[in-house]
Amino acid sequence: MAYPFTKIAIIYNPNSTGNSKKNAKELARHLKRHLPKSVTIELDATSHAGHAENLARDIAKGRQKVLLVSSSGDGGFNEVLNGLIAAHNPNAAAIVLPSGNANDHHHATSLRSVEEKILQPKIEAIDAVKVTATKDGRSFTRYAHSYVGAGLTAYIGKKLTEAKLNPLNEKWLVLKYLFLFRGVTLRVSPDFRWHRYSSLLFGNIGRMSKVIKLARESDYDDGKMEVYELKTSSTLRTILMLVSGSVLGLRANAQLKQLAFMSKRPVEVQFDGEVVQLDGRQTIVVKIERNIFRTLQ
């Protein structure tokens, strides 16, 4: 069979603290040795936050048979995913070359190496979590490949993004911010009462932040998302919940196609590795979009 792509664009961050640039260049060299010369292979460096999304959209627009490779972690791949969806190209696909800290999506969905997937491609369409809300008074829509979280996950995710991480300080910083976090006040449909939550999480895969195991029944192409409602009672209880989640796994409260909630105040929401602040006192709709983007098995 003919190779399904005419172009492979490897998007990387040259200023990444990880191996984004190194991994991207090594993959490009490897592919050029093994793929037909009719396949164009290019390296595209980002220059600022959000640039990967714009690059992905511009590269994938039209009907060209292009594969976008995000040499990044979950946050970088989130940008590429949103750019791909915005391009509306049924012939385009995206895959992540794990070069970040957690790489949740890669580890939760991959049985083969990235090189093997590209050289022997098996294309599949999988789900994404879609959020519709308002941000700064304007309509806002964004997708996540793995999970969306309000509360503790977003708070710690933002703090870790702002810090200079290394293997020694990461666990200490997580523990520090865990004790500083005070929860968020949410109203989750169909309950019209306000409750204090440590986390409200919507998952599309079976793991989060490297160690937290999510629902065993989680499947990224079943047209459903797992919903985890973790109400605040005490910091100690939250710690015990996280320890249990890393050993036994968290149990989902429900498997749904859609759920709406509201925050009393502006609320930070994490999309995979990216954190965005959404308006308070506005309805936030979270739903699963089935088979919305193509990737490689």
Name the pLDDT band for 161 (thresholds 50, 70, 90): low
Strands 207-208 and 225-231: unpaired
Which residues are CB-contacts of 46 (< 8 A; sequence separation ≥ 6)? 11, 12, 13, 14, 52, 55
Cis peptide before 190 (omega within 30 of 0): yes
Residue 234 has what pLDDT? 63
What is the residue whose two structure tokens read 């309509």?
A: 139
Residue 210 has what pLDDT? 47
Is the pLDDT at 131 greater than 50? The verdict is yes
Is the pLDDT at 225 greater than 60? The verdict is yes
189: left (phi over 0), alpha (psi -120 to 50) or beta: beta
Is the pLDDT at 75 greater than 80? The verdict is yes
> From 3.20.20.70, 3.40.50.10330, 3.40.50.450, 3.40.50.2000, which CATH number describes the 7-121 domain?
3.40.50.10330
Residue 180 has what pLDDT? 65
Q: Where in the chain is the domain with CATH 2.60.200.40?
A: 130-291
Least confident of 34-38, 51-55, 226-230, 274-278: 226-230
Least confident of 15-19, 29-33, 66-70, 157-161: 157-161
Residue-wise pLDDT for 2-48, tens only, equals 999 999 999 999 998 789 999 999 999 999 999 999 999 999 999 99
Residue-wise pLDDT for 185-213, tens only, equals 999 999 989 999 988 999 998 766 544 55
Q: Where in the chain is the domain with CATH 3.40.50.10330?
A: 7-121
Is the pLDDT at 116 greater than 90? The verdict is yes
Is the pLDDT at 57 greater than 70? The verdict is yes
Per CATH, the architecture of 130-291 is what? Sandwich (2.60)
